[in-house]
Amino acid sequence: MKQSFKKLSTIFNVLLLVQLAFCAAALFFIHDDTLPKAIVVRNNSDILSAQQYISTHGILVLVFLLSAVGVAYLIDSQRKAQGAILQGLMEKAEHYRQTSIIRLALIEAANILAVIVAIKENNLIYLGFVAVGLVLFLRFRPSMKRFAKGYELSATEAEALKTE
């Protein structure tokens, strides 16, 4: 059982390192000497009468990141409920492992997309989206404690988890 959680931890660490490597590459490739491409959105309201510059790719990245986080959270909640009714510790642990990989992959995909757009648009602002994504990625870090709490393990299952 502990071996399974070690593998899951290794997967998490590799995915985190990949994201950090992409961020480092983006910092290397992005030069501030050119302005990013932008479209002009005109606002006819009295509150904001000035023109605002919003990149279409930036909006898509933000929407994708927020969607990925929302979907990851919903999948996590749904699969926790499904996993809590499973019989046997090994089945629950495998279910948790699959759930963790799915939610981490969703967040990582959004972060990698933000890095790619940052390089394409030549704009460091998108790395701010990546920073938010990395914080959320770290929030979904798999652990035995979260497994026991999320899957509502009985006292005997929790004890068996610690000893195996």
**Tens digits of per-residue pLDDT, 37-82?**
555 555 555 544 433 345 788 888 889 999 998 999 999 889 888 8
More confident residue, 126 or 104: 104
b/e per residue 7-43 (b: at least 16 CB within 10 A): ebeebbeebbeebeebbeebeeebeeeeebeeeeeee
pTM of the shown model = 0.79
Average pLDDT of the chain is 83
- The enclosing H or E element of 40 equals strand 39-41
- The enclosing H or E element of 39 equals strand 39-41
With the CA atoms of 114, 120, 124 and 128 taken in that order, what torsion angle do they form, in degrees rounded to the nearest 10?
-10
- The enclosing H or E element of 149 equals helix 144-150
pLDDT digits (tens, 9 = 90+) for 130-162: 999 999 999 989 988 888 888 888 788 777 777
Strand partners, 40: 53
- DSSP assignment letter at 37: P
101-108 mean pLDDT = 93
